[in-house]
Amino acid sequence: MVEHADRSRSASKPTLLARNLLPRSPRSVAGQVFALQIAVVLLLILGAILALVLESRSASEAEARHRSVAVAQAVAHAPGLPAILDSPNPTAVLQPMTEDTRKQAGVDFIVIMPTSAGRPANSRPGPLNSTGGR
């Protein structure tokens, strides 16, 4: 019986050591409330950061959309554009104009297309007046 008691004491010693190594949670109500307040503040900060990132992304996409529409409207309403599109070689006139407009507007590319097939001007290199594989 003595040996049995010694075994139970030696078995409980490692658990006491493990309890001392593990971080303790606050035991008082004030400590628990404080920990809860810290958790709530951290969640609010993370939520605010997430909201700012999403708002920034949305604002930059809207700004890019507005810039693209403004450039498209400016090119579409350029003086003499219908006459240039009806000319025998619209690419020779439109290509330099398209490239200058693209650089000044700060956009990636500009494509001018009439309602008929073909592209008389494109700011990206490649074959013009093609129908895109049709």
Q: What is the pLDDT of residue 134?
A: 38
In three-state form (DSSP H/G/I as H, E/B as E, the rest C), the secondary structure along the chain is: CHHHHHHHHHHHHHHHHHHHHCCCCCCCHHHHHHHHHHHHHHHHHHHHHHHHHHHHHHHHHHHHHHHHHHHHHHHHCCCCHHHHHHCCCHHHHHHHHHHHHHHHHCCCCCEECCCCCCCCEECCCCCCCCCCCC
pTM: 0.50
**pLDDT tens track for 80-116:** 888 888 888 888 888 888 888 888 888 888 888 777 6
| Per-residue model confidence (pLDDT) at position 126 | 60
User: Is 70 exceeded by the pLDDT of residue 52?
Assistant: yes
pLDDT in tens, 22-47: 566 557 888 889 999 999 999 999 99
